[in-house]
Amino acid sequence: MNLGKRQSAHGAWRATLWAGAAAFAIGLYFQSEPWLLDPDAKVSDGSEIAREAKADVVLVIDYAVVRASPPEFERRDWSAAWINVLEQEIGPVTIATPQSLSEQVVQQARVVILTASAARGVGDGLMGQLERHVRGGGTLVLERPRGALRAAFSADGRATQSRRARTITHARELVAPFDKELMDSPLSTEYVGSTGSREGATTWMSMDGVPVVYAISRGQGAVITIEFDVGEQLVATQQGRPKKGWTLGEGEGPERVEALVSDDRLIGAKVPYADMLERFLVHGVIAHYAPLPALWYYPGGADGVVVGVHEDDQLGDGAGWMLDHEREERAVSTLLVTHDSGLSAAGAATIHRKGGDIGLLWRLPGTPEERDERLGAAGFTPLARPLWLGRQLDLLKKTLPVSYVRTSRIMDGWWTREWDGAFRQLSEAGVRVDTTYQSRRTSGYAFGTGLPFLALSSEGIPLGVREMPIVVGQGVVEGPGLDELLASSSAGHHMAIAYASSPAAFADYPDMQSFSRWLETFEAIKASNHRLTSAARLDNYLRSRRASALQSRLVEAGDEQRPGVKLLRVTVEAKARGMWLHVPERVGPGAFVSAKQAANRVGGELVSGELETRPGTVIGIPRRFIPLERGFNTVDVTYAPD
């Protein structure tokens, strides 16, 4: 009995010993090969943008229709893409829903735009408001209208169901080379065919020989009908076209960002096709019927900007050396660093003091650039979790003299497998501008733009973060060069050209020729009337531009001695220094004569000052450029028959 007890105790002791040894071995294994948890990524669902602004243009979006639209990319309602169109091309805009749109707002506006979501059908009350708006001299823009709106203002639309567009075949009043450039645009949209055109309609654009943008006069105003899906065309070109299931590929993990490019013809494109379409619709078509003033895209009346972007994961405090050269040129840039680059608090403070914008070079989980965080207690860390975006931002912020990070870029050209996955994370984290979009093969406008565009969720809802594609990448040797892009920008495209270069590139591969070429870019930028700036400064300026006020009215100012003279009175509240206004060079048969500050009473007398202006173009469309003072401005622009 005692022997049995001893054997039993010995067996229990051996089992305990082996169990302990096994646990120790397992512990050693997981200490060296931790159990990997899923990243704790937090995402945003976006938010519906509505805004009451002092603006000439009212944009109407029905978010309920957007959310209820079919889930396929081609059938999703992308009406919210119009927000980006108008904010980029004009600046301030009122954004309303059919429920919030009042008759007072309609009658005070010069232009009312009903997106496809709001033009499916309107009640008698709104229909009456729109009729009065047009007959009183207003302009109404309808995107693919239905029901009473189509019957009242547009062609019948009964030829066939919607058809996929192949090519633009007509663009009215665009001059060379911009007419051909627009007609060469790769298309990703559908249009509504009609069996009969509206009597008296003027066709402004055709696709496959079918009128897709046309206008008719009604009373003192006009109605413009757009028969193609503007939102799909712009979202597919700028944000990219997803694969089946809103993914970038068939794999399980992240994909390269090039997978988003909607058409191979965009690779290496020297033409910003998405911006061309926006500008033709706003400054070519709408402004023909409602001569609209707009706030210029860039401060100081510059023809464009170059956004310097540098990225570093190894130099730490030494990564800011390029900023020293840029400061000598009175310029700033964006430095994107990983959370573990070695940047110290003292180094970050120096860069910040010199005006540099420090952003995050994001190590995306699931890529070779991933970094993990060990989890456990008392030195035993058997678990690991990839550092998600928010955690990397928190680690970077610990070294910064400010409590925020506004700019980012995913390291080495990766993107989340989900089409909008990265944008959802960036939006939740409060990042304003991302610069990941880039073709690593060539320079050029692979996403149809260089301007920061508003990202949308797969539900068609704004996500509050803007993507600014890199137009000229580090080490890229194919595609249009910076000099060619600057010349095209000055000649009428007026672009923001993001230019990437790495501080470590010259350190790893010393090359005086490359270094000299980099220094020569400063002279090219100046000579083309462009400015070198950072992503954050451009974003701050554009935010001020959107937050400004801009209203105008066109009145008859002629008399028996000067018949046909018109006065465009523009009231502006400029929220930033260096803002410029641009207005049409011609209004009807009248040409620009002068721009004056509205009369102010000085010493009992009314005094007005004439402003110095300069002529220019936007994609070949003549415009007149007028400098503004920060704060309130009232400008009277006079037009008289030739």
| Cβ-count burial 261-299 (b if 16+ within 10 Å, e if not) | bbbeebbbbbbbbbbbbbbbbbbbbbbbbbbbbbbbbbb
Say if 314 falls within a structural domain. yes
- Residue 28's pLDDT is what? 52
In angstroms, rounded to a whole number, what is the distance separating the alpha carbons of residues 326 and 522?
8
Pair 122, 209 in one domain: yes
For 99-149, how does the pLDDT look when each residue is reduced to its tens digit (9 = 90+)? 999 889 999 999 999 999 999 878 888 899 999 999 999 999 999 999 899
Contacting residues for 553 by C-beta, under 8 A, at least 6 apart: 110, 568, 569
Largest CA distance in the chain: 132
Say if 247 falls within a structural domain. no
Say if 560 falls within a structural domain. yes
Supply the DSSP string of 382-450, one letter for each residue: EEEEE--HHHHHHHHHTTSSSS---EEEEGGGEE-SBTTHHHHHHHHHT--EE-----SSB-S-TTS-S
The residues with which 293 forms a beta bridge, in sequence order, are none
**Are residues 255 and 172 in contact, defined by beta-carbon separation less than 8 angstroms?**
no
In angstroms, rounded to a whole number, what is the distance separating the alpha carbons of residues 15 and 35?
26
Beta-strand relationship, 621-627 and 614-618: antiparallel
In angstroms, rounded to a whole number, what is the distance separating the alpha carbons of residues 110 and 116?
20
Say if 197 falls within a structural domain. yes
The residues with which 409 forms a beta bridge, in sequence order, are 361
Residue 328 tokens read as 């000598």
Rounded to 5°, the CA angle 185-222-228 comes to 30
Domain final residue, candidates 512, 545, 578: 545
In angstroms, rounded to a whole number, what is the distance separating the alpha carbons of residues 624 and 283?
12
Pair 23, 140 in one domain: no
Number of domain units in the chain: 4
Pair 28, 117 in one domain: no
- Residue 157's pLDDT is what? 64
Rounded to 5°, the CA angle 284-290-296 comes to 60
pLDDT at 474 over 90: no
- Residue 506's pLDDT is what? 66
Alpha-helical segments (H) within 120-271: 124-135, 147-153, 178-183, 230-238
Domain final residue, candidates 502, 519, 545: 545
Helix or strand or coil: residue 549?
strand
Which value, to the nearest 10 degrees, does the dihedral of the CA atoms of residues 153, 111, 304, 545 take? -150
Pair 417, 553 in one domain: no
Rounded to 5°, the CA angle 125-128-133 comes to 130
Pair 284, 199 in one domain: yes
pLDDT at 595 over 50: yes
Which has the minimum average pLDDT: 50-54, 176-180, 323-327, 603-607?
A: 603-607
Q: How far is CA 232 from CA 67, 74, 116, 508, in A?
A: 15, 7, 11, 43
Say if 48 falls within a structural domain. no
Which has the minimum average pLDDT: 155-169, 213-227, 617-631?
A: 155-169
In angstroms, rounded to a whole number, what is the distance separating the alpha carbons of residues 3 and 1?
5
DSSP label of 316: G
**Are residues 548 and 92 in contact, defined by beta-carbon separation less than 8 angstroms?**
yes
Categorize the per-residue pLDDT at 74 as very low, low, confident or very high, splitting at 50, 70 and 90.
very high
User: What percent of the chain clears pLDDT 90, i.e. is strictly above it?
Assistant: 74
For 230-261, how does the pLDDT look when each residue is reduced to its tens digit (9 = 90+)? 999 999 999 999 998 999 988 888 999 999 99
Pair 168, 304 in one domain: no
The residues with which 410 forms a beta bridge, in sequence order, are 362
Pair 358, 275 in one domain: no
Say if 248 falls within a structural domain. no
Quick one: residue 354, left, alpha or beta (phi over 0 = left, psi -120 to 50 = alpha)? alpha
Pair 78, 134 in one domain: yes
Out of 64-73, 125-134, 192-201, 520-529, the most confident range is 64-73
- Residue 235's pLDDT is what? 98
Provide the 10 A C-beta neighbour count for residue 588.
13
Amino acid, res. 103:
E
DSSP label of 42: -
Pair 76, 160 in one domain: yes
Pair 78, 195 in one domain: yes
pLDDT at 564 over 90: no
pTM over the 0.85 mark: yes
Compute the radius of gyration of the chain from its Cα atoms: 29
- Residue 326's pLDDT is what? 84
Say if 349 falls within a structural domain. yes
Pair 282, 311 in one domain: no
- Residue 602's pLDDT is what? 43
**Are residues 449 and 266 in contact, defined by beta-carbon separation less than 8 angstroms?**
no
In angstroms, rounded to a whole number, what is the distance separating the alpha carbons of residues 466 and 540?
12
Residue 573 tokens read as 């509240």
- Residue 502's pLDDT is what? 85
φ, ψ for residue 196, nearest 5 deg = -150, 140
CATH at 520: 3.20.20.370
CATH at 84: 3.40.50.880
Residue 621 tokens read as 């469309």
DSSP label of 198: P
- Residue 162's pLDDT is what? 84
Pair 213, 114 in one domain: yes
For 285-298, how does the pLDDT look when each residue is reduced to its tens digit (9 = 90+)? 999 999 999 999 99
φ, ψ for residue 324, nearest 5 deg = -60, -45
Helix or strand or coil: residue 304?
strand
- Residue 308's pLDDT is what? 94
Beta-strand relationship, 57-60 and 111-114: parallel
- Residue 618's pLDDT is what? 98
pLDDT at 24 over 80: no
- Residue 17's pLDDT is what? 65
Tally of helices (H runs) and strands (E runs) in the chain: 18, 36
Beta-strand relationship, 210-218 and 202-207: antiparallel
Categorize the per-residue pLDDT at 8 as very low, low, confident or very high, splitting at 50, 70 and 90.
low
CATH at 562: 2.60.40
Mean pLDDT of the chain: 90
In angstroms, rounded to a whole number, what is the distance separating the alpha carbons of residues 638 and 565?
7
For 426-464, how does the pLDDT look when each residue is reduced to its tens digit (9 = 90+)? 999 999 999 999 998 899 999 999 999 999 999 999 999
Name the residue range of residue 21's domain: 2-33
- Residue 30's pLDDT is what? 45
Say if 130 falls within a structural domain. yes
- Residue 635's pLDDT is what? 96
Amino acid, res. 549:
A
